[in-house]
Amino acid sequence: MKIVHANRNIPVDTLRGIACIFLVAYHVIGTSPENGLRLHEGFLKDANQLLAYVRMPLFTFLSGYVYAWRPYKSDWKKFMQGKIRRLIVPMLFVGTVFALFQALTPGTNASVTDWRFLHLLPVAHYWFIESLFLIFIILLPLEHFRLLDSRAGLGIAFLIAAILNVSNIGTPWFSIAGAFYLLPYFLFGLFCFRFPLNVKYSRYAGYFILVLVILFLVFYGQQYGGGRRSFNSLVIGILSCGSLLFIGFESRSLAAVGFYSYTIYLFHVFFTAASRIFFRAAGVSDIWVLFLLGTVIGLAGPILVDIVASKYDVSRLLMLGKGPRKKRTIPPNK
């Protein structure tokens, strides 16, 4: 596994690593009793459902926070070209390969129902990438006119995004509904970077808020949590992200995983599905063994893909959305 670069933000990469584990575990367990490990009850199923209030909000919150490191300045063409390369190109390539994998591999859970609308209606979890691209389009005029440069402006934008979130408007086409779902979490991440919340004893406050969120989810989550675009869900997601940022967890192991978060998002489903099919065919039936193996392989497999694909310009572009490798210049002999 690649060592985390010295100039990386370890707390942020640690949270990325946590988000990756939540995501991979989610697809190992399955979104319903009809897929994944096909669980009808038990701890893993209940935990998987409750973590829905944290998983994608945390991914999106971190996307907004990281965007703030290198935000849009003035060259909108260059900005959008970068986002198309980084997001749309691998979404189209990897998403199409995954759709073919689902259609041709026995034992997978689902497949595309109408190939005419491939990617117009998002493929599986790749909706997130399409939604994130739409969010960057929304950001362009807001950043261009400097509407997000003040607490008031960013606060108003967040309020509008929150209304769009809980109103449940939107359509699955082009993942527009997904963008409305994610936008407040992205803006909250941007807000936390540009206008840090200076709370006394922030780490203790973070632990306190996180404990309250966990207790609420454990005792009342299934009853009062609501759908993913409900007001309660939005509050839980915002409080979870804010508390985790306040706490500032640091783990170099988790940060090493978080370093590859985008590649893990792109490729983990190939490895979780293959793991489940292979080990069940091999006679492994223990749910916890299948869960642990699937999660580890779902994390490790994409990291290996990144290491190998990064060596070649074509695979860097199509599979990872990265630019060409920088060529080393050999200094002339003196």
Domain positions in the chain are: 10-320
Predicted pLDDT of residue 334? 47
Predicted pLDDT of residue 3? 43
Predicted pLDDT of residue 328? 65
Predicted pLDDT of residue 2? 40
Predicted pLDDT of residue 102? 84
Length of the chain: 334
- Nearest-angstrom CA–CA distance, 135 and 150: 19
Predicted pLDDT of residue 35? 83
pLDDT tens digits for 40-69? 889 999 999 999 999 999 999 999 999 999
Question: Dihedral through CA 158, CA 161, CA 166, CA 171, nearest 10?
Answer: -160
Other C-beta atoms closer than 10 Å to the C-beta of 142 total 16
Per-residue pLDDT of the chain (334 residues), as tens digits, is 344 455 689 999 999 999 999 999 999 998 887 888 889 889 999 999 999 999 999 999 999 999 999 999 888 999 999 999 999 999 999 999 999 988 887 766 666 778 889 999 999 999 999 999 999 999 999 999 999 999 999 999 999 999 999 999 999 999 999 999 999 999 999 999 999 988 788 999 999 999 999 999 999 998 999 999 999 999 999 999 999 999 999 999 999 999 999 999 999 999 999 999 999 999 999 999 999 999 999 999 999 999 999 999 999 999 999 999 877 656 665 4
Q: Label residue 120 left, alpha or beta by phi (over 0 means left) and psi (-120 to 50 means alpha).
A: alpha
- Nearest-angstrom CA–CA distance, 165 and 184: 7
Predicted pLDDT of residue 139? 96
| Angle at alpha carbon of residue 70, lines to 301 and 266, rounded to 5° | 20
Predicted pLDDT of residue 22? 96
Could you tell me the two tokens for 68? 């703030």
Predicted pLDDT of residue 40? 87
Do the beta carbons of residue 37 and residue 277 sit within 8 Å? Answer: no
Do the beta carbons of residue 2 and residue 77 sit within 8 Å? Answer: no
Do the beta carbons of residue 132 and residue 182 sit within 8 Å? Answer: yes
Could you tell me the two tokens for 18? 């946590």
> Which amino acid appears at position 213 of this protein?
V
pLDDT tens digits for 299-333? 999 999 999 999 999 999 999 999 998 776 566 65
- pTM score, whole prediction: 0.93
DSSP 49-60: HHGGGTHHHHHH
Helices (H), the chain: 10-29, 43-50, 55-67, 76-83, 89-104, 127-144, 151-167, 176-194, 202-224, 231-247, 252-258, 261-281, 287-309, 313-315
